[in-house]
Amino acid sequence: MMSNGRSRAAPFLASTALIAVGLPVPTAAADGLPSSTCATSSRNTGTQSRPQATTPNVCCVVATNYSVSGTDTRIAFNGVPTFKDGPGGTITVSRAYSGSATFTVTAGAESEVGAVLAKAKVSLSASLALSNSTTTTHTYSRGIAAGKYGHVQYVSWGQTVTYRKYRINSNCSTTTLATGKIKYPSSEEGWYYWETAS
């Protein structure tokens, strides 16, 4: 067979691969966000249904969440006086009063109190509460340093909770919705003692 000097190239079929690119989630990971993925639906090419690649690190919008941190604090019971004795000697006190220690919002909205407490009980201490109104009697005795005055106050040993309310966005970033500080009492209570020079 004679060649006409021209070669015919075989047809070249090119296919385009769909590449799923993972988006970083540093903010979400830092705040302990729930993992969330969005799977895309299949694409109709006219001749066959080809599933699109999924992007496992692309975030769906999820419910708002809270991040919290806490520092130890004390909340005085209402209706229980602060006692003072001295100089020197011994101070003895007994709780035989009706009273309660309740939460205080120091920054932010009071409407966040319940949701922040729920998060704080899981992340910080299960003993935190909106109020403590126990009537258990508790007696305390303490020697006072020479020349000093002793003070005793009945308190609940709670925490000051700093919170951040946020929303996760579809690009895995977060948007701060509110911040604040709330002092919560706990079920732990007792006498707090300190001394002064006068």
Task: Encode pLDDT of 66-118 as tens digits.
Answer: 999 999 999 999 888 899 999 999 999 987 767 899 999 999 899 999 999 99
Would you give the end-to-end CA distance of the chain in angstroms?
122
Better-predicted residue by pLDDT, 90 or 16: 90
CB atoms within 10 A of CB 70: 20
Q: What region, left, alpha or beta, does residue 89 occupy, with left being phi > 0 and alpha being psi -120 to 50 degrees?
A: left
Q: What region, left, alpha or beta, does residue 113 occupy, with left being phi > 0 and alpha being psi -120 to 50 degrees?
A: alpha
Residues in Cβ contact with 100 at an 8 Å cutoff, skipping those fewer than 6 apart: 77, 78, 79, 131, 132, 133
- Tens of pLDDT, residue by residue over 117-158, are 999 999 999 999 999 987 778 899 999 999 999 999 999 999
Tokens of 152: 């005793």
Q: Is the peptide bond before 11 cis (omega within 30 degrees of 0)?
A: no
Q: What is the mean pLDDT of the chain?
A: 77
- pTM of whole model > 0.75? no
